[in-house]
Every structure is written in structure tokens, then in C-alpha cells.
Structure 1
Amino acid sequence: MAGRVLSSELAKTSIQQIQSIINGGLTDQISQLDSQGKTLSDPNVWDGPLAEKFRSGTWPETKSALDKALSELEELRGQLQQISTNIMSAGGGS
């Protein structure tokens, strides 16, 4: 007995919305955050106890998370068309 397969117009729309969000600037915004974080990490731009805490802990942790998010978004971007095709063929859609 085969498992349930469902494909709806909402599934197709959701894939298109994800593509639009990623391609519409989300990755650019993450890159802009990275750029501003690098700027704030420069002791010639901002210094003091809070700046040191930012440079030594907050920013490295945040940058790591941003880098991971960018990598995962790029991977998702590469898979979205296949995901869309699979959703539509699984449900018999076109």
C-alpha cells in the first residue's frame, strides 16, 4: 500500500514564495549584515569594553551563523526547482 501523496496549488505557491524571498534580496541582506559587522569589529571604528565583547564573542558567533545561513540558502536555492518538480509530479500536477 502506497503512502498518501498530496500536492496542492498552495504547495506550488509556497515554493515560488521561497524562491522569491531568496532571490529578492535575503542573501544580499545577510551579506550587508556581514559587512556592517566587520565595520563594527574594527577598533578604529568602535572601541571600548562593549566593542571588545562584540569583537571577541558576539560578532564571531553571529558571523558563523550568517555564513551557515548563506550556505544553506544557496543549497536550498539549488534544490527549489527539483522540489517544485517533485511536488507537482507526486501529486499528478503540472
Structure 2
Amino acid sequence: MSQAVDQIHQITSMLDGKAQSVRWEGPDANRFKSSEWPQYKSALTRVAQDLEAVKGIVNKQKQQQINASA
């Protein structure tokens, strides 16, 4: 799961760089860069955070099962 989280962070960073540096002008570009992309970026960040939370829960439950079986 850590690998998936790292990949999400890497992809988000790459897309952020491309979104900021793309040669695109006009109202659609402005809307995308100032409104739409930040929303997508936040959604990707939340996915990564949620995966980290799930990882913590799974690891905790795994340890509880190990302790219960001991």
C-alpha cells in the first residue's frame, strides 16, 4: 500500500508541474489552473491520505490477530 501512496504522490506532483507549465491561455485555461486542477489535486491527496489510514487500520488489526493467536 505504501507503494501505491508513493505513486499517487509522484503522479500528482508530475501532473501539477504539467498543469502549471502547459502552454494554454484563455478563460478555460485560467479556470482549469485556478479552480479545476486544485480540486483534482486535493482529491488525489485525499485518496493518498485515505490509503495511509487504511494501511494503519489493517496493520493494527493484523497485530491484534497475531496477539490473539499467541
Please confirm whether the aligned pair reaches a TM-score higher than 0.5, indicating the same fold. yes
Q: Where does residue 62 of structure 2 map in the other structure?
A: 84
Counterpart-to-counterpart distance in 2, 1:47 and 1:40: 11
CA contact (8 A) 2:19 2:33 kept: yes
CA contact (8 A) 1:41 1:55 kept: yes
Give the 5 Å matches for 1:8-47: 22-23=1-2, 25-42=3-20, 44-47=21-24
1:46 is displaced (CA, Å) by 2.7
With normalisation by structure 1, the TM-score equals: 0.54
Q: Where does residue 43 of structure 2 map in the other structure?
A: 65
Gaps of 5+ in 2: none
Number of equivalent positions: 68
Distance 1:63 1:75, change over 3 A: same
Bigger Rg, which one: 1
% identical aligned pairs: 26
Distance 1:51 1:87, change over 3 A: farther
Counterpart-to-counterpart distance in 1, 2:48 and 2:61: 19
Counterpart-to-counterpart distance in 2, 1:29 and 1:58: 21
Relative to its length, the structure with more helix (as a share) is 2
Gaps of 5+ in 1: 1-21
> Mean alpha-carbon deviation: is it higher for 33-42 or for 60-69?
33-42
Counterpart AA for 2:19 = S
1:87 is displaced (CA, Å) by 6.1
